[in-house]
Amino acid sequence: EAGVVQSPRYKIIEKKQPVAFWCNPISGHNTLYWYLQNLGQGPELLIRYENEEAVDDSQLPKDRFSAERLKGVDSTLKIQPAELGDSAVYLCASSGGTGIGTDTQYFGPGTRLTVL
């Protein structure tokens, strides 16, 4: 069974440019998560989807970040415009089960973003 797929793996952009990350969760997993991970730290949740509904986006900086999961399968996270401080690894995870947040999350390889 395929794991969580993310693309691109690496992205280098100039500040103020837009950037988008794509994630395809494990087949059948209804819950999808986007995390940000800074060097030397644990992941920080940005947004959680259950099917196509964003059930927790309290930590998403909505002035520049947006996300969508239109058909309840794959998802896109966008930053516009990017700032220097956005340089980090963006992780996508998915989980099956009841989706109440206690399920095991399976992670993709991440996208390493560098903003110059």
Partner 1 sequence: AQKVTQAQTEISVVEKEDVTLDCVYETRDTTYYLFWYKQPPSGELVFLIRRNSFDEQNEISGRYSWNFQKSTSSFNFTITASQVVDSAVYFCALSEFMDSNYQLIWGAGTKLIIKP
For residues 75 and 92, is the Cβ–Cβ distance under 8 A?
yes
- Residue 41 within binding range of partner 1, rule CB under 8 A: yes
2: contact with partner 1 by CB under 8 A: no
Rounded least distance, CB 81 to partner 1, Å:
25
Is 28 one of the binding residues for partner 1 (CB under 8 A)? no
What SS3 state is found at 47? Answer: strand
- Subset of 69-108 contacting partner 1 (CB under 8 A): 89, 91, 93, 100-102, 104-108
Do 32 and 90 form a contact (C-beta atoms < 8 A)?
A: no
Query: Is the CB of residue 65 less than 8 Å from the CB of residue 3?
Result: no
Show Cβ contacts of residue 64 under 8 Å, excluding neighbours closer than 6 positions: 79, 80, 81, 82, 83
Task: Give the binding range for partner 1 (CB under 8 A) out of 20-28, 39-47, 65-73, 76-84.
Answer: 39-47
Kindly list the residues in this chain that would bind partner 1 in the complex (CB under 8 A).
Answer: 40-45, 48, 55-56, 58, 89, 91, 93, 100-102, 104-110, 112
